[in-house]
Amino acid sequence: MKRGFTTTILHSDLESPIEHYAVHKPMHAAVAYGYPDARELAKVFKGEAPGYVYGRQGNPTTAALEAKISKMEDGIATASFSTGMAAIAATFIALLRTGDHVVSSSFLFGNTNSLFGTLSTLGCEISYVDATRVENVARAIRPDTRLVFVETIANPCTQIADLARIGELCASRGLLYIVDNTMTSPYLYRPKQNRAGLIINSLTKYIGGHGNALGGAVTDTGLYDWTRFPNIYDNYKTANAAQWGILQIRKKGLRDVGGTLAAEVAHRLATGAETLALRMERASANALQLARFFARHPKVKKVYYPGLEDHPQHQLAGELFKTYGALMSIELADGIDCFDFLNRLKLVISSSHLGDNRTLAIPIAHTIYWEMGPERRAEMGIVDSLVRLSIGIEDSDDLVGDFQQALSG
Ligand SMILES: *Cc1c(COP(=O)(O)O)cnc(C)c1O
């Protein structure tokens, strides 16, 4: 019988024997691995035998976490990294060459947007499109397009990419489709069901969940035919073509760049991951309740949350995701100073993070989007009173009470 999501995560380490019958994979902090038979060492180096050679390319603890992420995403292989940004940067550096074209959603995590700016100075061209409609993606595709990149629920205004139709489009064109699944997590959504070839997760957010560890991962779903990808180096064209992509990402992205996840951190993330489903259910339920509360509140002008009927992709979100997630933004009514509002909150923390167990709030225009200037902010609909909320797992009455008192102050 196929096991459920949480059972699978809890028992995934035990699928291979664990030293001393430990119930989960211990921390392996060793940097180097000594082989009694030097021929065996050479085999591992050549990829002819499984094993570890040097800590920059991973260790048994990161491998156990990678196996867990693969299970969550129903993938064939995962490479882990020190942060989500390291995972994204490594993937693009490993797979792109000068002159390549990328089609990307214009609703992007700010640092990904900045990274794409860097890639464009290195000779890659990025076309940004409104990915809530597949036609816009289709129109941007060119003969030199190597891949299409989207996020699931965009931050801060919660636009939802046309994930299923973009997947169909990429499959029909033989294009690599990469989905950043951070905001939904594999519990709410599995991009493989919509034919994604690679999936990126920032483990720092919901998968780790406790705000105590940074990490990132790239998972290959096995759906993309790497023999169609022109940028695979000959020495990574091994017998099994399904492994070409992840092998090149491991070698060129992880080994050469060195954004390696430490064993101690991998262990912390793996522990956090055990309760992903429970936390997502609770945080999403809190978020839906709060969104409805804000929608009725006279001091809130606008609420961005996919679970509300007036959200432009409300129906799409219902079809694609298990819940509507735990991220929302609110625009305060005229005359309310967002800093005064935030300072009146007693429980909710003013912080730039998201996906934490604790509820966090941030005035977007004055922090994360400050650098881009007022004109670009206006284009993106980011007004000065916009506050992004990452809803946590607190008791819902306490959250409603805190926002209630802060809004009536
Ligand atoms: C946070 C985030 C990242 C980057 O992850 P880090 O672990 O902070 O580097 C990438 N994509 C999305 C959608 C994110 O929210």
Q: Across residues 174-197, what is the average pLDDT?
A: 98
pLDDT at residue 2 tops 90: no
pLDDT at residue 409 tops 80: no
pLDDT value at position 371? 86
- Residue pLDDT, tens place only, 154-165: 999 999 999 999
CATH number of 276-408: 3.90.1150.10
What is the percent of the chain with per-residue pLDDT over 90, rounded to a whole number? 94
Specify the range with the lowest mean pLDDT, choosing from 282-286, 294-298, 325-329, 382-386: 382-386
Pocket test for ligand 1, best of 104, 199, 204 (most atoms within 8 A of CB): 204
pLDDT at residue 1 tops 70: no
Residues of the chain with CATH 3.90.1150.10: 276-408
Q: Report CA(354)–ligand 1 centroid distance (Å).
A: 9
What is this structure's pTM?
0.97
pLDDT value at position 363? 96
* Confidence band, pLDDT 50/70/90 cuts, at residue 406: very high
Q: Across residues 83-88, what is the average pLDDT?
A: 98
Pocket test for ligand 1, best of 92, 106, 108, 111 (most atoms within 8 A of CB): 111
Q: At what angle do helices 60-73 and 263-273 cross, to 10 degrees?
A: 30
CATH 3.40.640.10 fits 5-273, yes or no: yes
Pocket test for ligand 1, best of 82, 92, 107, 109 (most atoms within 8 A of CB): 109
Ligand 1 environment, Cβ below 6 A? 83-85, 109, 112, 151, 155, 180, 182-183, 202, 204-205, 214, 216
Contacts of 37 (CB under 8 A, 6+ apart): none
- Residue pLDDT, tens place only, 221-274: 999 999 999 999 999 999 899 999 999 999 999 999 999 999 999 999 999 999
Query: Residue 155 has what DSSP assignment?
Result: T
Residues of the chain with CATH 3.40.640.10: 5-273
Query: Residue 336 has what DSSP assignment?
Result: -
Query: Residue 243 has what DSSP assignment?
Result: G
pLDDT value at position 15? 92
* Confidence band, pLDDT 50/70/90 cuts, at residue 376: confident
β-pair type (77-81, 216-220): antiparallel
Tokens 């890659």 sit on residue: 124
Residue-averaged pLDDT of the chain: 96
Q: Which atom of ligand 1 is nearest to the CA of 216?
A: 7
